[in-house]
Structure 1
Amino acid sequence: MDGGTDFRILNLNCWGIPYLNLSKLRKERMLDIAEELAKGACDVVCLQEIWSVSDFERLRTACMGKYPYSHYFHSGVIGSGLCVFSKSPIVGAFYHHYSVNGYPHRIFHGDWFGGKMVGLCQILHHGLTINVYVTHFHAEYNHTDKPYHGHRLVQAFEMCQFIEHTGQTSHVNVIAGDFNTEPEEIGYKLITKLLEMKDSWTTQTCIQDACDGSTSDVPSNSFTKPSASIRFPKGKRIDYVMYQVNDECDIECLESSVTMGRVPGKDYNFSDHEAVDAKLKIHKKEKKPLPEFDEKSSSECIQVLEDVIGDIKTGHDNLKTVQLWTRIGLIISLSLCLLWFIPHFDKIKLVALVLATLGVSYMFVMATVGIRMERKAYTECINNMTLKLNSLKRERKS
């Protein structure tokens, strides 16, 4: 085995919403992030929530000296928010747009407009082909009801499928991003079991005694709401750097740390998230060992898939309720049209007509297109998972 190749990667959700001052101090923070990244400490930087292309261009210009290669993924109505900066050449890029991603009528949740996806940048790093994937799953919003739990599971599985089918020829696959999923949740288990992805935080050889890896709702973060600090006194670990190797390489995580908290000399943080900085060591093997069947790992993967299929079926069944409320909304919208026949009250009639037109249009589209698309996405995901599940069961029997 050779002396190994160092590969250091940083991941940060930058909280860069450019509208209605939803992201506090965005312009100032983008300058601070650019200044920090321009130091060039890492080999690759993966960012989320760079919603403005002009913000990306400013970052690209500031970092050009250390990161001459970069790529921004364009997707959705306002963009994907995902971008990658690299010291080594980016020789190819591709992406997959998630089939379900929230609802357009939930404007203040915004994910539907963001075009959530998983992006791939293939990087040639010191003779190694490294596939760097970056993603951002749908936000949680409600920790108790978890209305988008099914959507995140579909996104997690589609990401796994994308990596499985695009990462077969690389030496190393690395995924970085905001999964909006904690380690104890089924979505995390799906990724780590189905893809056998290694979490840099849990596999690092350097023990972090003073930190538990939390990256969101961290109490010390200047943008964390007091209510979040009460609900999550230690914060949440939802941002990750994970890695996967093929039979030609071994890889170890020397260190994984939470960084880019408070801006030096300022009274605010770089973002409402903390960054994850992972230092990896990649070794080429002299021989390709024959893969061994792992009974325990296979059983765990089968169990996780069965649990995820059950959760997604629940989301599929819940569409009946959504469809019912959509029909009720359509009836109410049509009823507003009756106000047009009330004598006088011209202003009321005009408002009623506008609301009725908007309501009927939206409810009709949701009833005929939106819900049907979501149902088909759930069905396709369940079918694909079932194929994978049956394959694993056959492999275990043989």
Structure 2
Amino acid sequence: MQVADKDAKNNVRLQPTKLLELPSSLRAISLNCWGLKFLSKHRNERLTEIGRQLAQASPEPSIVGLQECWTQQDYLAIRELTKHVLPYGKFYWSGIFGGGLAILSKWPIEESSMYRYPLNGRPAAFFRGDWYVGKGVASARIRIGPARKDVVEVFCTHLHAPYEREPNDSYICHRTAQAWEIAKMMRHAAERGHMVLGLGDFNMIPLSLAHRIIEAHAPVKDIWRLVRPDSAIGAAQNPVEKARGKPIPTAEQCLVEHGTTCDSKFNTWRWSKQMRKALERGKDSEVDPSTPDLRAKRLDYIFFVSQANHAWDVEDVRVGMTMRHPTLRCSLSDHFSIETTLVRQTTLADVDGEVNTLSFLPVDTYDEILAMIAKYDIRERRQRKQRLAHFVAEIGISIGCLIAVWWSPRNFVAFILMLVSTLGLSAGVIDGLMGGLFVGSEIRALKEFEFEIRNTRELAVRAAEGG
């Protein structure tokens, strides 16, 4: 059977499968593939090898969430290589260039959806691209057994990238709102009694604001911290990690103990320009595992909560996809994968059938978020005024140039005036549209987010007062 099914629009294999019993274990993998079209080096070769490694992985993967798998061509190549292990899959469409998200599964996908984040970058930041790819949450409802609640709800996402260090990150409000949205979705899935897996590149460090929001407003837990609660909460050079007073970890410790999936010394795409050029010429470099690693950090996560009618335990969690391409000798992506095996308990003695789906952060944290929203709102309103003022000014300049053409002494002067008029008015119209339409919609999305935070803050105050 070819991977490109009759239902080519969504690439989901829809052949019905009868599930006779619940599996005893489940292997989940999350990987940012770094598959940017035209920009990511050796994209086709690397993503094809990612497919081969998934197909050969031991233990076999059951559910895989991919990020930055931007092209359907790469997705189909991975599907073709993994179809005997992961016969079901979905490539998610979003935005202008696509969300880069895909989910592969051993079991049937009963339902899927793509939810775009209301706050997700700005069209003016075209050089960053977050708004244009339509970032959001790819979700899949996967049946793993015959009972009504034998379902895994998978949420795969890639949150807005940080371009400055928190709390000075100009997009922290966007990423905070995105964490809030995916937490709500995972909480609702848990309330339905289903197992929940949140996979993705969350672009946050452990115990950051976004991380705390997810674990407080959904019953899920960060699997790595479940197994290794004393693991690093940032790169060794990050002030929050320095404050813990821990020794600088080695490159090997970063992978094994701290789950660092990004900026590792073992990743060739984080090597110096000279080392990468030497690798391209066939001269490899060896990385000493005992070398201190100041930059490595964990940005990729698996969040998990068990079923209501069956208990699952975390058997292991590790960083994967650390191998190199067999011929190019480069890393398969600029991220490593995060992988876990979940095992089902054979007894239900410890399962009460209910999940506590909502807890609260300290009230001061909600005040901090509200202050962040207010600061961002002021900034966006100021930018809207500036953009609209630019639009009005360009109309005046354009009219002035057209009038001046009548008294132009030379043809080339008339040409320059017309060029200035055309280009200026075009820029003004674009700025006016951004200010009048996009910024307006962003402010309305901020108002929705603000309402939810204020409402939750009131609930937190009542809970603290015992009301």
User: Residue 200 of structure 2 aligns to which amino acid in structure 1?
Assistant: G
Match in the other structure for 1:107: 126
Q: Which stretch of the first structure deviates more once superposed, 298-307 or 187-196?
A: 298-307
Q: Are 1:135 and 2:135 counterparts?
A: no
Comparing 260-269 and 75-84, the one that deviates more: 260-269
Contact between 1:123 and 1:130, CA under 8 Å: does it hold in 2?
A: yes
- The answer to whether the Cα contact below 8 Å between 2:138 and 2:155 also exists between their aligned partners in 1 is yes
> Kindly tell me: are residues 42 and 246 of structure 1, through their superposed partners in 2, closer, same or farther at Cα, counting changes over 3 Å?
closer
Give the match for residue 389 of structure 1: 457
Mapped partners of 2:362, 2:215: distance in 1 = 9
Secondary structure of the structure 1 residue equivalent to 2:76: helix
**Between Structure 1 and Structure 2, whose CA radius of gyration is higher?**
2
The superposition leaves residues 243-280 of structure 1 with CA deviations (integer Å, 9 ceiling, x where unpaired) of 02354343322211111124253421111111111112
Give the TM-score, by structure 1 length: 0.88
Counterpart of 1:54 in structure 2: which amino acid? Q
Q: Equivalent residue for 2:241?
A: none
User: Is 1:330 the counterpart of 2:394 in the alignment?
Assistant: no
Q: Which one of 68, 77, 92 corresponds to residue 73 of structure 1?
A: 92
SS of the residue corresponding to residue 190 of structure 1 reads: helix
**Identity over aligned pairs, percent:** 23
Instruction: State the AA in 2 paired with 1:279.
Output: T
Structure-2 separation of matches of 1:303 and 1:33? 44
Look up the SS of the partner of 1:112 in the other structure. coil
Is 1:372 the equivalent of 2:440? Answer: yes
Unaligned runs of 5+ in 1: none
The one-character-per-residue Cα deviations of 1:27-84 (angstroms, maximum 9, x if unpaired) are 1111111211222521111001111122212221221111110011111111111110
Q: Does 1:240 align with 2:301?
A: yes
Contact 1:261–1:269 at 8 Å: present in 2 too? yes
Name the SS for the 2:131 alignment partner: helix
One-letter amino acid matched to 1:333: E
- Opposite residue 338 of structure 2, the aligned amino acid is V
Cα drift, residue 378 of structure 1: 0.8
What is the CA–CA distance in structure 1 between the aligned matches of 2:330 and 2:70, rounded to whole Å?
Answer: 21
Aligned to 1:289: 352
Where does residue 318 of structure 1 map in the other structure?
379
- Amino acid of the residue matched to residue 131 of structure 1? E
Look up the match of 2:429: 361
Residue number in structure 2 paired with 1:5: 24
For residues 110-159 of structure 1, give each alpha carbon's deviation from its aligned partner in whole angstroms, at most 9, with x where no partner exists: 01110111121111124421111101111112336411111111111111
Correspondence 1:39 to 2:62? no
Q: For residues 188-208 of structure 1, what are the alpha-carbon distances to aligned partners after superposition, in whole Å with 9 as ceiling and x for unaligned? A: 111112213211111127999
- CA displacement at 1:236 relative to structure 2: 2.1
Deviation string 1:301-332 (CA, Å, 9 cap, x unpaired) is 54443433332232222213322432453355
Partner of 2:216: helix, strand, or coil? helix
Q: Distance in 2 between matches of 1:392 and 1:207?
A: 28
Matches within 5 A, 1:1-398: 5-18=24-37, 21-39=38-56, 41-127=60-146, 128-143=150-165, 145-204=168-227, 210=253, 211=255, 212-224=258-270, 226=272, 233-245=294-306, 247-265=308-326, 266-283=328-345, 285-286=348-349, 289=352, 298=359, 300=361, 302-331=363-392, 333-334=394-395, 336-337=397-398, 338-340=400-402, 341-342=404-405, 343=408, 344=411, 345-396=413-464, 397-398=466-467
Deviation, structure 1 residue 234? 3.1
Q: Is the 8 A contact 1:72 1:83 kept in 2?
A: yes
What secondary structure, in the 3-state scheme, does the structure 1 residue paired with 2:311 have? strand
Q: CA 1:35 to 1:335, structure 2 compared with 1: closer, same or farther past 3 Å?
A: farther
Unaligned stretches of 5+ in structure 2? Answer: 1-21, 232-251, 274-292
In the TM superposition, residue 186 of structure 1 has moved relative to its aligned partner by 0.6
> Residues 4 and 287 (structure 1 numbering): CA distance in 2 closer, same or farther, change over 3 Å?
farther
In structure 1, C-alpha distance between the alignment counterparts of 2:163 and 2:375, rounded to whole Å: 19
Q: Separation in 1 of the partners of 2:189 and 2:308?
A: 16
For 1:194, the aligned partner's letter is: H
Taking a change above 3 Å as real, the CA distance of residues 124 and 323 of structure 1, as seen in their structure-2 partners, is same
Question: Counterpart amino acid of 1:381?
Answer: F
CA deviation vs aligned residue, 1:168-217 (integer Å, no higher than 9, x gap) = 22431110001111114211111112213211111127999822211122
Partners of 1:16 and 1:51 within 8 A in 2? yes
CA deviation after TM superposition for structure 1 residue 394, in Å: 3.1
Count of residue correspondences: 388
C-alpha distance in structure 1 between counterparts of 2:44 and 2:397, whole Å: 44
1:367 shift after superposition: 1.8
Q: Tell me the amino acid that sits aligned with residue 162 of structure 1.
A: M
TM-fit CA distance, 1:233: 2.3
SS in structure 1 at match of 2:200: strand
The answer to whether the Cα contact below 8 Å between 1:333 and 1:355 also exists between their aligned partners in 2 is: no
SS, match of residue 89 in structure 2:
strand
- Taking only aligned residues, the RMSD between alpha carbons, in angstroms, comes to 2.8
C-alpha distance in 2 between matches for 1:389 and 1:282: 36
For the residues of structure 2 that align with 1:205 and 1:238, how far apart are their CA atoms?
A: 16
Instruction: Work out the CA distance in 1 between the residues paired with 2:295 and 2:40.
Output: 22
The answer to whether the 8 Å contact 1:96/1:162 transfers is: no
Q: 2-side partners of 1:239 and 1:181: how far apart?
A: 8
Contact 1:205/1:255, CA 8 A, preserved across alignment: no
How far residue 334 of structure 1 moved from its aligned partner, in angstroms, is: 3.4
1:44–1:78 Cα change, 3 Å: same
Are the aligned partners of 2:391 and 2:425 in contact in 1 as well (CA < 8 Å)? no
Ranges of 4+ aligned residues in structure 1 off by more than 4 Å: 205-209, 290-294
Q: Secondary structure at the match of 1:176?
A: strand
